[in-house]
Structure 1
Amino acid sequence: MRVFSLWASLVCFLSIISYARGQNKIFTVTDYGAVADGKTDSSQVFLNAWKEACATDGGVVAVPLGTFFVSGASFEGPCNGETFFRTEGTLRASSDPSLDQDYWILFDEIDRLTIFGNGTFYGNGESAWPHNQCDKIWVARNPLRGINSVNSKMFHLNLHKCENVLLKNVDVIAPVDSPNTDGIHIGKSNGIEVTASRHGISIGSLGKYNNEEDVVGITVKNCTFSDTDNGLRVKTWAPSSMPVTVSTVTFADINVNNVENPIIIDQYYCPHSSCSRKGESEVGIKDVKFINVRGTSATEVAVDVQCSKVRPCQDIQFVGLDLIMKGTRQPTTASYSNADHEFVGLDKFCTQFFLTYFNWRD
């Protein structure tokens, strides 16, 4: 299954598109009756254009300049070959927070789909954020290239039960106080590659829901994080209901620039005001390596590892860290609790890094 859905505002850029304009049939939505006034619901018109493009090998749905109101649309396959969705205009979501739907735009059961252009998928997230009390909204499963996701109502992109997916040049942008506008969610998937994107990396949160599975074999490398809240993060709920395990994780060759939490393991994650914050996490974290993480931290504590008392972290390894404070160029510090950890290359590291240990190997 290949599904991709949007609850987001997307600005799409793709410099190289694998279709020839003279050889592909174009299905322009205005030819089917779409009105670029930002008010008239063009959902069904878009679906009509999609239906014909999907039935044509190499068919292109074209959205011209202008603002098109789309309350919701499910573009379904399988299609008769490669399919393209080109937008130069703006697709605008509803601003009605009472609208009951699991997705805004859904691409379902489609292989070889390319979304591109210089247009915008505007999710109208600011109309929904004050009413946002949901933990999950939608599921998405499909590869993307050259996408900027801006002001989503909820999660920007979600890949679930996917295999061999490439996400390249994906920028995720939302105000710091917008709730649950998470970037790229990846779950129950294999062979997912995210490259040339600018966002912090989080594993989790884990331990809240039933039937969660272990997270094993994650590699994050060659990344640069600038002005983000978090760089590399593992987070689990406390208390947690599922004793799953995170293991065999490697973060390597990471550059951080003015990142508030360059490295953080948080086993007391509970972001909602209703959380009691009582109890310990049952999620196990072991065999996690941070290799060559370098750059500047926005805070003094650049490494913050707070693990569960009932299931302490095991075999947490740091190799060649070089983290200093932004502006002052002063050494940063590290804080640990209930963590079995090790530093490699400590002689070089100690010249720039002060460490504070709490309950180390206890």
Structure 2
Amino acid sequence: MDLRSLSCKSCIVVIFLLLLVNDVRAYIPTKRFNVEAFGAVGNGRTDSSKAFLYAFTRACQFNGYSILLVPKGTFLVGPVVFKGPCRGPIDFQLRGIMRAPAGAVGMDHWISFRYIDRLMIYGGGILDGRGETAWHYNDCSRNSNCQSLPVSLRLDFVTNSVVRGITSLNSKNFHMNIMGCTNLRMERLHIIAPAESPNTDGVHLGYSEHIRISDSIIATGDDCISLGPGSKNIEVLGVTCGPGHGISIGSLGKYQNELDVSGIKVRNCVLDGTDNGLRIKTWATSLKSKVHDITFEDVIMNNVYNPIFIDQQYCPGGNCDNSVSSSVQIQDVMFRRIRGTSKSQAAVNLRCSRLYPCKNIKLADINLSYKGPANTTCLNVQASAWGLQKPDLGACI
């Protein structure tokens, strides 16, 4: 048999199989579940929690592709837990507004999705956390036994999923908390809370991997994005942050058996008027773990305090033992093409552990201006620098 003929026949078989797969996908059973059909009322006053839960239960049990629709209107909901596993992929199409109950509700979540594979949350709608009714209850800065306020959106053990094109407004605590998740894309998000709102981190991640946060605007009262223990292979791309506390890794080292943080890439972001820029923070008195394989590149700073900041004496309450040095090892960190303006004289501030000095910190093409002469602070760090060095990085090398 002619080899070219055999090759041609093989191509035809492959094309046929691809067409067959696409055809099968097109005929997966699909069903829409409108929350109003289950008793939800979009008047902003009627508690629709039971209707949402019933609609989700039916959608989750459907043996096919289900779409849970939240139509235009304002729906008072929560706290609610949407728990899988589900029989098929599920879309949560948020077109209207979901409004949280007023005040502190005594739970760690408002809306929670758990143990779901192939979840898609989208639709251009709004999660209104009504944080203004609860922020005055937040006394954690002065009370170690304080009760945490609810996170607006929790994703726990969610896999192969997407959160796209929604707005989170005025969360009582974190806007979004991602825990134990794998293969998650978060894109075109709009996250808003006043600069003075306490603990309103935009997106917090922990014990999750292969997560991408992209093309989003985050303006909050705390970290725009914070990466906690166990964050692995995380990409932050095209995020505009401010006001807020910048993009942070940490805080780390507070609890026993924390997993390492690695494979973090922050690229093409803008930080505007934030209290910190690109920050790695570990508790002054900390337990052992490691931060490594970190890249920050192509980031613009507009009037930012501490644009480049490693803080291994993090102690927000001010009651730490400064004689003890951090046990978190930071190594293999690249800062490349970081440019803009600093609001603090110390544009580059690397304060590493005496016990475990930072290793292999690289700074390339740094261009940060201050209204006067900017400076650099480096303690217990092994670093190298090349390309443009503004401010002068001699103290770090």
- Using the size of structure 1 for normalisation, the TM-score is 0.82
Q: Does residue 353 in structure 1 map to residue 353 in structure 2?
A: no
Q: What is the aligned counterpart of 1:48 among 54, 57, 63?
A: 54
* Distance in 2 (alpha carbons) for counterparts of 1:128 and 1:85: 27
Residue by residue over 1:87-136, the C-alpha shift from the partner in whole angstroms, topping out at 9 and shown as x without a partner, is 23221112232x22232111222222222223211112222222222597
Q: Does residue 339 in structure 1 map to residue 381 in structure 2?
A: yes
- Identify the residue that residue 91 of structure 2 maps to in structure 1: 84
* Distance in 2 (alpha carbons) for counterparts of 1:175 and 1:276: 33
Q: Which has the higher helix share?
A: 2
- Identify the residue that residue 101 of structure 1 maps to in structure 2: 107
* Distance in 2 (alpha carbons) for counterparts of 1:261 and 1:318: 15
**Amino acid corresponding to residue 85 of structure 2 in structure 1:** P
**Amino acid corresponding to residue 27 of structure 1 in structure 2:** F
- Identify the residue that residue 174 of structure 2 maps to in structure 1: 155
- Taking the TM superposition and a 5 Å limit, the aligned residue runs for 1:242-253 are 242-253=287-298
CA 1:202/1:135 → structure 2, altered by over 3 Å: closer, same or farther? farther
Give how far 1:51 is off.
2.0
Larger RCO (CA under 8 A, 6+ residues apart): 1
* Distance in 1 (alpha carbons) for counterparts of 2:171 and 2:357: 36
* Distance in 2 (alpha carbons) for counterparts of 1:176 and 1:272: 20
Give how far 1:275 is off.
4.9
- Using the size of structure 2 for normalisation, the TM-score is 0.75
- Identify the residue that residue 308 of structure 2 maps to in structure 1: 263
Q: Does residue 206 in structure 1 map to residue 252 in structure 2?
A: yes
Q: Does residue 223 in structure 1 map to residue 269 in structure 2?
A: yes
CA 1:297/1:284 → structure 2, altered by over 3 Å: closer, same or farther? same
Instruction: Please provide the CA RMSD for this pair.
Output: 2.6
Kept in 2: contact 1:323–1:331 (CA 8 A):
no
SS in 2 for 1:321: strand
- Identify the residue that residue 194 of structure 1 maps to in structure 2: 213
Q: What is the aligned counterpart of 2:133 among 127, 132, 153?
A: 127
CA 1:189/1:30 → structure 2, altered by over 3 Å: closer, same or farther? closer
Q: Does residue 140 in structure 1 map to residue 142 in structure 2?
A: no
Q: What is the aligned counterpart of 1:279 among 317, 321, 324?
A: 324
Give how far 1:177 is off.
2.1
**Amino acid corresponding to residue 203 of structure 1 in structure 2:** I
Give how far 1:266 is off.
0.6
Q: Does residue 118 in structure 1 map to residue 118 in structure 2?
A: no
Kept in 2: contact 1:263–1:303 (CA 8 A):
yes
Equivalent pairs: percent with the same residue? 44
**Amino acid corresponding to residue 335 of structure 1 in structure 2:** T
**Amino acid corresponding to residue 88 of structure 1 in structure 2:** R
Kept in 2: contact 1:335–1:356 (CA 8 A):
no
Unpaired runs of at least 5, structure 1: 1-18
- Identify the residue that residue 190 of structure 2 maps to in structure 1: 171
Rg comparison, structure with higher value: 2
Kept in 2: contact 1:78–1:111 (CA 8 A):
yes
* Distance in 2 (alpha carbons) for counterparts of 1:33 and 1:165: 31
CA 1:78/1:243 → structure 2, altered by over 3 Å: closer, same or farther? closer
CA 1:219/1:101 → structure 2, altered by over 3 Å: closer, same or farther? same
Give how far 1:77 is off.
2.2
- Identify the residue that residue 8 of structure 1 maps to in structure 2: none
* Distance in 2 (alpha carbons) for counterparts of 1:306 and 1:135: 32
* Distance in 2 (alpha carbons) for counterparts of 1:30 and 1:206: 44
Kept in 2: contact 1:333–1:356 (CA 8 A):
no
Unpaired runs of at least 5, structure 2: 1-24, 141-145, 217-239
**Amino acid corresponding to residue 93 of structure 1 in structure 2:** A
Q: What is the aligned counterpart of 2:73 among 66, 69, 83?
A: 66
**Amino acid corresponding to residue 122 of structure 2 in structure 1:** F
* Distance in 1 (alpha carbons) for counterparts of 2:344 and 2:69: 47
